[in-house]
Structure 1
């Protein structure tokens, strides 16, 4: 009888858990809806995957999760890291890490007045290495209010920044991430 009562007690809880958004196994969301967050990769790693889940009922906001991966040994250790420029909520934004940096973190703050977030990338520079073979992804998500996912397609490509647009009608963003390879030698360019 006790087992039956415990099962009846647990069934509503199981229904709640199964109704939650599509959580990424082993990668918990870094934020709650309408909350700020600060995510940084461990030293010597760069961002390689970004996932998000949208909810209109939760302030037209997204849950976010990020994955990092160690950079190739040929790049060496990061020589400096910094927070790069910030966007304003409700505005378009294009940001590429200055000083030939790679994206190694993200921070964001939610603003209920515009139902949008401000964004800032944490960038790390590796000696005097330079980017090449850069390209922009298609829109992520493809359509507003869908789940979004970027996984860097090949080891040796890195996220250098992004271009993002905001729909004031749909209250959601689409992203085009800037992906590049890095030279295996030092180069003369301060920023590319």
Structure 2
């Protein structure tokens, strides 16, 4: 019940236009300071723009080192990808830019080191369907260390895991 209430509260905040880190068809440039990692992700698709808005929240990462870096671009347009930060690093930000021609984004991930991150990683199933708004919460005792996605031209959109 608490999770439903939190989802409804966050949906209300973001539907009013607060908290989005980008605009449709514009770059996403976002990172938390060292010592923080992503605790939830919300994304909203728009059929006219064939693009997504993105919002994030953070949580403290235990024993941060301040050692952070952006990956290179990990995909070309319309390509699937599977990305993981190096061992003992968590995702603390994302960069991307949108192509109107491809109706897709290229992605970079911001990884920050923490000595308390184990190598016992697991992939989720896909957290969204094409064209839908989604909200994904990082489980309480976990950190986000990777992401995977594939693009489908029919929807001009991506599914994420």
Measured against the shorter chain, the TM-score band is 0.7 to 0.9
- Residues 1:109 and 2:97 are matched in the alignment: yes
- Residues 1:126 and 2:117 are matched in the alignment: no
Counterparts of residues 97-176 of structure 1 (less than 5 Å): 97-127=85-115, 129-132=117-120, 134-141=121-128, 143-154=129-140, 156-176=141-161
Q: Is the 8 A contact 1:27 1:65 kept in 2?
A: no
- Residues 1:61 and 2:51 are matched in the alignment: yes
Root-mean-square deviation (CA, aligned residues, Å) is 2.0
Q: Is the 8 A contact 1:103 1:124 kept in 2?
A: yes
Larger Rg: 1
Shift of the 129–33 alpha-carbon distance from structure 1 to 2, 3 Å rule, reads closer
Shift of the 127–79 alpha-carbon distance from structure 1 to 2, 3 Å rule, reads farther
Give the structure, 1 or 2, with the largest relative contact order (CA under 8 Å, sep 6 or more): 2
Shift of the 69–26 alpha-carbon distance from structure 1 to 2, 3 Å rule, reads farther
- Residues 1:88 and 2:76 are matched in the alignment: yes
Cα distance in 2 for residues equivalent to 1:64 and 1:94: 19
Match of 2:4 in 1: none
Among candidates 27, 34, 37, match of residue 43 of structure 1: 34
Runs of 4+ in 1 over 6 A off after TM superposition: none
Shift of the 138–44 alpha-carbon distance from structure 1 to 2, 3 Å rule, reads same
Q: Is the 8 A contact 2:34 2:66 kept in 1?
A: no
For structure 1, the residue ranges without an aligned partner over 5 or more in a row are: 1-20, 177-192
Match of 2:60 in 1: 70
Query: TM-score, normalising length from structure 1?
Result: 0.71
Q: Is the 8 A contact 1:84 1:121 kept in 2?
A: yes
